[in-house]
Amino acid sequence: MTSEVSFPNGFLWGAATSAYQIEGQPLADGAGPSIWHRFTHNPGQVANGETGDLACDHYRRSEEDIALMADLGLGAYRFSIAWGRVLPEGRGRVNAKGLDFYRRLVDALLERGIQPMVTLYHWDLPAALHDRGGWLNPDSPAWFADYAQVLFRALDDRVSRWVTLNEPWVVTVPGYLEGALAPGHRDLFEAPRVAHHLLLAHAEAVGVYRSMGRHQIGLAVNLEPQHSASPSPEDQAAAQRRDAFINRWFLDPLFLGTYPTELASLFGLAWPDFADSDLARIRAAMAHGTGARSDFIGVNYYSRGLVRANPNSVPLGAERVSPADALCTTMGWEVYPRGLTEILLWLRDRYSNPPLYITENGAAFNDPPAMDGMVPDPDRVNYLRSHLHAAHEALKQGVDLRGYFVWSLLDNFEWAHGYSQRFGLIQIDPLNQTRTLKASAHAYREIIRGNRIHSSEGSTI
């Protein structure tokens, strides 16, 4: 006999995507190119030389995709705005056709009873702004605030949840320190400055929203609990450094008004002397009214960090490893649902239990071809169910968790991996763009419909 665990009434069930990964047609209707458009057209940057020129063709197939969302019973859909569609030069002139696409998208979602959660920035900086220094330019927070104001003015009457930035750590580290993602820089001195400007950009956009918005605004961060690979003092210290580097770099300034002390040691001479007034502005974004908290934090969770010391790894002196017997996704990430409970409890304890949404959670696996109109993907079904059990456990322990967004609605362009990594609930045929529901989509529909999950489900991971 199996019992069921239920989620709270009003728990928000959704799915997530991002503009460059699904829209295609990146220069259509007067849009300006982004750093990702440039990056993908630079040979050798992306697997198989693939680009987001077509992606899932969502720019032309949004009505079909929204019908699929409605069929799944989604209560919400998280998507991002392509900055360059709206402001082709990044500032100034508004491209009416680009903005109208998002107006129509929001209206169509609401007609189907799906609440939009809009991300303002999911990594696709307008190339025109990159040519002016991009996120290294001290003016970049003001550029972002001006862009945000255009969207707030156009959509806030219909959009009740906004995310300023998606995973600023990924913008900073793979983008400016490691060179793996756009714009492809490798500079120890650039990374801390980019991170600081991103935090200031979040603060400036929140300030604009407080003056004109009517709903909720937050930040989405990638988080993972850091575990020592062994009991050795070296590995334990390495895990602590990686925790500061990934989990606390962007949250401590927001909630505590300081950067983790480990970062200055890690970056050495590359770590700037940030102004106290900047940190005060950043922290002020997390409070409004009479000391009220920020509206929410979005949590993007995929795996844990299992860490061992490696003095050759700069600047951390640490590296992530996987247990030899671990089940891993095709991204090489260990499947570790318990880590989701751990990171949610960590947020509760370290930052006084802020309101949370799981804004991304999902897995890439090698999916087989469709059979009888459906794609069997049992590993993803198990992944989702086990992680929802982990989320429910955090709820039982008092975490203020308000919703869950699976990554992703569609198989899409997975950045430097091209189309080789499939995260979607819905398979996309790259030849004809046919959409086919996977077994995970059907399983997720049933979870949404009942607002519950059987306690025996997901226990295999």
Residue 92 structural domain: 4-454
| Options 190, 204, 262, 360, the catalytic residue | 360
Q: Is 360 a catalytic residue?
A: yes
Domain-embedded: residue 304 = yes
Report whether 147 contacts 109 (CB < 8 A): no
Average pLDDT over the chain, rounded to whole? 96
Report the CATH number at residue 287: 3.20.20.80
What is the structure's pLDDT at 407? Answer: 98
Residue 407 covered by a domain: yes
Cα of 113 vs its chain's centroid, Å: 23
Identify whether 87 is part of a domain. yes
- Dist CA 30 CA 160 (whole Å): 28
| CB 406 within 8 Å of CB 15 | yes
Residue 459 belongs to a domain: no
Whether 4 is a known active-site residue: answer no
Q: Which is the catalytic residue, given 167, 190, 224, 342?
A: 167
Q: In whole angstroms, give the CA distance from residue 9 to residue 101.
A: 33
pLDDT exceeds 90 at position 459: no
**pLDDT tens, residue by residue, 219-268:** 999 999 999 999 999 999 999 999 999 999 999 999 999 999 999 999 99
Residue 460 lies in a domain: no
Domain count, the chain: 1
Q: 3-state DSSP: the chain helix, strand, coil percent, rounded to 5? A: 40, 20, 40
Q: Categorize the per-residue pLDDT at 2 as very low, low, confident or very high, splitting at 50, 70 and 90.
A: low
Residue 461 in any domain: the answer is no
Residue 210 lies in a domain: yes
pLDDT tens profile 340-373 = 999 999 999 999 999 999 999 999 999 999 999 9
Kindly report, residue by residue over 302-335, the tens digit of the pLDDT: 999 999 999 999 999 999 999 989 999 999 999 9
Q: What is the pTM of this model?
A: 0.97
What pLDDT, on a 0 to 100 scale, did the predictor assign at position 204? 97
